[in-house]
Chain A
Amino acid sequence: MESLKLPKDTMLGAAIVTITGNREVFIENYKGILEYTTESIVLQGKNAKICFEGSGLSIDYYTNEDMKISGKIDALRYI
Chain B
Amino acid sequence: MLHWIQYLRGYVTVRVWGYSVERLLNLCGNHDVLVWDIEDHGDYHTMHISIAGFFALKPLLKKTGTRVAVTGKYGLPFFVSQMWRRKLFVAGLFGCIFFWCLASRFIWDIQIEGNFALTEDVLMDYLEEQGVHTAMKKSGLDIGALEQELREDYDLITWTSVQLRGTTLLIHIKENDMPQYDNRNTAQTEKGMDLVAGKDGVVTYIITRSGVPLVSCGDSVQKGDVLVSGAVPVYNEDTTVRRYQYVEADADITLSYARNLSLEEEIAYDEKCYTGETIEIPVVGTGEKEVAFRFRKVPYAFYDTSEEKKQVQLLDHLYLPFYYGSRTVQEYEIVSKMHTEEEMKTLLQERFRKIISTLNEKGVQIAEKNVTIKKNEKKWVLHARMQLEESAVKLAPTTVTEPVENSGQEDSQTD
Chain A residues in contact with chain B, CB under 8 A? 32-38, 57-64
- B interface, how many residues as a size bin? 10 to 19
Q: Are B40 and A58 touching (Cβ within 8 A)?
A: yes
B258 at the interface (CB under 8 A from A): no
B372 at the interface (CB under 8 A from A): no
A55 to chain B, nearest CB (A): 11
Q: A58-B37, A60-B37, A61-B37 are in contact. List 4 more A-B contacts (CB 8 A).
A: A37-B40, A59-B37, A61-B34, A62-B35
Contact of A36 among B25, B34, B36, B37 (CB under 8 A): B25
Contact of B22 among A34, A38, A61 (CB under 8 A): A34
How far is A52 from B293 in the complex, measured between Cα atoms in Å?
86
Pairs A–B under 8 Å by Cβ, sample size 21: A32-B29, A33-B22, A33-B26, A34-B22, A35-B22, A36-B22, A36-B40, A36-B45, A37-B40, A38-B40, A57-B40, A58-B38, A59-B36, A59-B37, A59-B38, A60-B36, A61-B37, A62-B35, A62-B36, A62-B38, A63-B29
Contact residues of B between 204 and 243, Cβ < 8 Å to A: none
Contacts of A36 on B, CB cut-off 8 Å? 21-22, 25, 38, 40, 45
Contacts of A62 on B, CB cut-off 8 Å? 25, 29, 35-36, 38
A52 to chain B, nearest CB (A): 13
B142 at the interface (CB under 8 A from A): no
| Closest Cβ neighbor of A34 among chain B residues | B22
B368 at the interface (CB under 8 A from A): no
| Closest Cβ neighbor of B21 among chain A residues | A36
Chain B residues in contact with chain A, CB under 8 A? 21-22, 25-26, 29-30, 32, 34-40, 42, 45
Chain A's interface: helix, strand, loop or mixed, by majority?
strand
Q: Known interface pairs A61-B35, A62-B35. Does A32 touch B26 (Cβ–Cβ under 8 Å)?
A: yes
| Closest Cβ neighbor of B47 among chain A residues | A59
Q: Are A64 and B38 touching (Cβ within 8 A)?
A: no
Contact of B25 among A33, A37, A58 (CB under 8 A): A33
Contacts of B25 on A, CB cut-off 8 Å? 33, 36, 59, 62
Contacts of B39 on A, CB cut-off 8 Å? 38, 58
How far is A60 from B48 in the complex, measured between Cα atoms in Å?
10
| Closest Cβ neighbor of B40 among chain A residues | A38
Contacts of B30 on A, CB cut-off 8 Å? 64
Contacts of B21 on A, CB cut-off 8 Å? 36
How far is A57 from B39 in the complex, measured between Cα atoms in Å?
8
| Closest Cβ neighbor of A38 among chain B residues | B40
A71 to chain B, nearest CB (A): 10
| Closest Cβ neighbor of B39 among chain A residues | A58
| Closest Cβ neighbor of A67 among chain B residues | B29
Contacts of B40 on A, CB cut-off 8 Å? 36-38, 57-58
A68 to chain B, nearest CB (A): 9
How far is A64 from B36 in the complex, measured between Cα atoms in Å?
13
How far is A77 from B26 in the complex, measured between Cα atoms in Å?
21
Contacts of A37 on B, CB cut-off 8 Å? 40
B273 to chain A, nearest CB (A): 95
Contacts of A33 on B, CB cut-off 8 Å? 22, 25-26, 29
How far is A35 from B45 in the complex, measured between Cα atoms in Å?
13
How far is A27 from B22 in the complex, measured between Cα atoms in Å?
17
Contacts of B22 on A, CB cut-off 8 Å? 33-36
A26 to chain B, nearest CB (A): 14
How far is A35 from B39 in the complex, measured between Cα atoms in Å?
13
How far is A34 from B36 in the complex, measured between Cα atoms in Å?
17
Contacts of B34 on A, CB cut-off 8 Å? 61, 63
How far is A34 from B26 in the complex, measured between Cα atoms in Å?
8
Contacts of A59 on B, CB cut-off 8 Å? 25, 36-38
How far is A68 from B36 in the complex, measured between Cα atoms in Å?
9
Q: Known interface pairs A33-B22, A36-B22, A37-B40. Does A64 touch B29 (Cβ–Cβ under 8 Å)?
A: yes
How far is A51 from B21 in the complex, measured between Cα atoms in Å?
17
Contact of B32 among A38, A57, A61, A64 (CB under 8 A): A64
A62 to chain B, nearest CB (A): 6
| Closest Cβ neighbor of A36 among chain B residues | B22
How far is A37 from B45 in the complex, measured between Cα atoms in Å?
9
How far is A78 from B118 in the complex, measured between Cα atoms in Å?
94
How far is A36 from B22 in the complex, measured between Cα atoms in Å?
6
B217 to chain A, nearest CB (A): 118
| Closest Cβ neighbor of B2 among chain A residues | A61
| Closest Cβ neighbor of A31 among chain B residues | B26
How far is A61 from B257 in the complex, measured between Cα atoms in Å?
115
B31 to chain A, nearest CB (A): 9
A2 to chain B, nearest CB (A): 32
How far is A58 from B39 in the complex, measured between Cα atoms in Å?
5
